Amino acid sequence: MNFSRNQILRIKVLSSGIFSLILTMGIARFAYTPLLPLMHDQAGLGLSEAGLLAAINYSGYLCGAIIASYINDLILKDRLYRIGMIVAVLSTFMMGASDHYMIWALSRFMAGLSSAAGLMLGSGLILNWLTRSDHRNELGIHFSGVGLGIAVCSLVIIVTSPWLKYTEQWYVLSVLGLALLIPILSWLPPPNKSIITKSGTLMLDNPPDQLFLKIFMAAYFCAGFGYVITATFIVAIVNSLPGLAGKGEYVFLVIGIAAAPSCIFWDLIVRRIGELNSLLIATIIQIIGISLPIIMNNTFGVMTSAILFGGTCMGIVSITLTMAGRYFPTNPVKMMGKMTIAYGLAQIIGPSFIAYIASKKDSYSQGLTVAASIMCVGAILFYILGKLKQSPTT
């Protein structure tokens, strides 16, 4: 099969984005989840302290999102994006280099900043490049990097846990992240500031009205709340269930495997039924997935839960941020930033709230009930949005 120069460039650009999300979301951010039980056993990391570290990570993510939302210069965005990739590797290395809680806290904050760089700046730059190059402006392939990152990290930790300490596992992940920097930094072209596409089409912004935007942000807040509780604590929750000790890492692996192709699948669904209907269906499926371990606390229940949760969590993010980018094709990060701030606030409040409950109950399991309840509110809001029917121009 012969590829044109333009097709090869598209493959390299999308691959650089996938690798950036493997690094910033998989390694720097979510490797913490499967390593959490090991850090508890080997370093004595307590439940409330672990939850606080998660909240610090999300506060870094929120700060990064706020900063990104105020930057209009594409050149500066590109520069900060590349710096964020290096910060992701450094923050990962720091987790193994010290057992001091303040160093861990600093590392988690830096990892949060790098996550914002990968998820927001990277997504915005790539969507902008796709639009200008007259390719289909969808981010499903790009967002497969999150699921791949979760799967890769889970697999690395499962394989190395019998013979490496948690500190050494952080080092292994750092080396992997360092290797990913090469294609990440070299395969994404410098941004083009023109507002005219390759075919000569003028790119025009088409922002939603304020009522739609406020409800949309509230719905995305709920999605972030349900997502962060499950994604952060699912390994610890599963390991605490009767007869399921040691299964948590495998559940997280299944989440990653399910998430990797899911965004591409949701792109296809969106083409048939639209963005808002797709968001509603994905939210309902995710509620079922989050609730299953509460109803069926056995291997079948938690593995099915992992498939349903993994198959929808990044789909919701991908659809939402793609919509935001389509509203503002000349500057995709403008609305992406607002949406991510709502999502980021949920990701600070969620772990802190669950950490407080865990300190009282000595368990994270009640977090799933809270997550499912908040997601139900989100489903209602997405339904209302569907009635308003204000979708971006595709």
Q: What is the pLDDT of residues 189-245, one digit of tens each?
A: 988 777 676 766 777 778 888 999 999 999 999 999 888 888 777 777 788 777 778
Paired with 196 in beta bridges are: 202
φ, ψ at 329 (rounded to 5°): -60, -30
The two three-digit tokens of residue 55, written as one number: 């909240």
Confidence at residue 296, expressed as pLDDT on a 0 to 100 scale: 83
Q: 196 φ, ψ to 5°?
A: -115, 130
Alpha helices (H) in 22-122, listed in sequence order: 32-43, 47-69, 74-97, 101-116
pTM given for the model = 0.83
- Round to whole Å and give the CA distance between 25 and 131: 24
Exposed / middle / buried, residue 369 (Cβ in 10 Å: 0-12, 13-18, 19+): middle
| Among the listed residues 20, 5, 368, 350, the one whose alpha carbon sits nearest the alpha carbon of residue 185 | 20
> What pLDDT score was predicted for residue 394?
47
215, 207 contact by CB (below 8 A) = no
Q: On the CB side of 110, how many CA atoms lie within 13 Å of its CA?
A: 21
| Stretches in the chain below the pLDDT threshold 50 | 394
Q: What is the pLDDT of residue 202?
A: 72
- Residue 311: the pLDDT is 93
Q: Residue 343's pLDDT is what? A: 85
Question: Any residues with CB less than 8 A from the CB of 327 and at least 6 apart, and which?
Answer: 205, 206, 207, 208, 335, 392
Residue 188: its pLDDT value, please?
Answer: 93
